[in-house]
Structure 1
Amino acid sequence: MSRVLNCIVAVCPDGGIGYKGDLPWHPTRLNNEFKHFRRLTVTRTPGAEDKQNVVIMGRKTWNSIPEKNRPLNDRINIVLSRQLEAPPSGAHHLARDLPSALRLLDGPEGLLADQVWLIGGSSMYSEVMETPCPRRLFVTRILKQFPSDTFFPDISPAQFRLLPEYPGVSSELQEENGIQYRFQVYQSLDP
């Protein structure tokens, strides 16, 4: 089965997605942006109410989530790590790499999985950008620059097109705590 791989990310103008193990704008909270992330990653396809969505993340992304919020509720949490021998406390599964995580979904666990969401970090995003399969990028464009040490790869117009609209995703300018941002959705040009 060819699954759509959904990436979700919030980026600064220079592509920054992290700084010292946290979001670049930390400690400022963007609660509505978090609600957007949660709504998208939890909402299942109509008719798949008996399944759960999957969130796949690298070990550093897992560690950046406050312990009280791990695992991400109502989602199957898969952590990628070549160093760990067992899933971190609270995670549902451990995989060595993205292909291994996707193979988990084709086994018995696959019967319980609806949508697949890749939530970070940088190397996983880079790998997905080059994976020949249907992909969607849900990008929150933070319209203010913050110091960053981790970056999202460039989105190639030869591989992705910006959709003019997407169901359930606002095209209006958002603002919280003096920070403006916009939601965008890109679709891969794969056949």
Structure 2
Amino acid sequence: MQVTVKGKQLDVGDALRTHVKEQLATQVGKYFGNPVEATVILSKDANRYKADIQVHAGRGILLQSTAEANEPYPAFDEAAEKVAKRLRRYKRRLKDHHERKTLAELPVTTARKYILEADGEEAEGQGDESDAAPEVNGHHAMIVAEMETAIEMLTVSEAVMRMDLADLPALMFRNRAHGGLNMIYRRPDGNVGWVDPAGTTGTVKQ
């Protein structure tokens, strides 16, 4: 696995870089025979250190975690343990994922993903309606970023696993049962909300 270690407001020495690469390769390697790549960003803000981990471990499998501590080593170790904990939790499902030969044959929908400015009031006299950004809450929001994203065909349990491994607040997917668009999201009470316009709705306990 190719591991890239970057420092932000922090000089990452050889010892820390080696520690990060060895620990991450060991923990992820237990569950993936050939993980693709990983990026670890270590940063410092005042007296706090932060570690952000992102691992691409196969088709559609993204692992993400973050942690903070008073020193860089504990920050990374905590973030890495979060990754390891999720991998242990989904060990059986990940094994099934690898063995499912038909996975690569399932259709993937390409969509556009936008990041909108939180308080994007349109400036007075700036452009006309045809050039305006999408309307949000009664006003036109400024598009901060635009990118391509993939909406995959998954079961609900697979979608929950993907959302949890990537530490995402929500995930859109096509329900393999009927092909329609579904959404799952993390609720404040710790459960997972499931929105199914086709009529099969529910809440998945975690």
TM over 0.5: no
More helix per residue: 2
Taking structure 2 as the reference length, what is the TM-score of the superposition? 0.25
Taking structure 1 as the reference length, what is the TM-score of the superposition? 0.27
Q: Greater CA radius of gyration, 1 or 2?
A: 2
More strand per residue: 2
Instruction: Tell me which of the two structures has the higher relative contact order, counting C-alpha pairs closer than 8 angstroms and 6 or more residues apart.
Output: 1
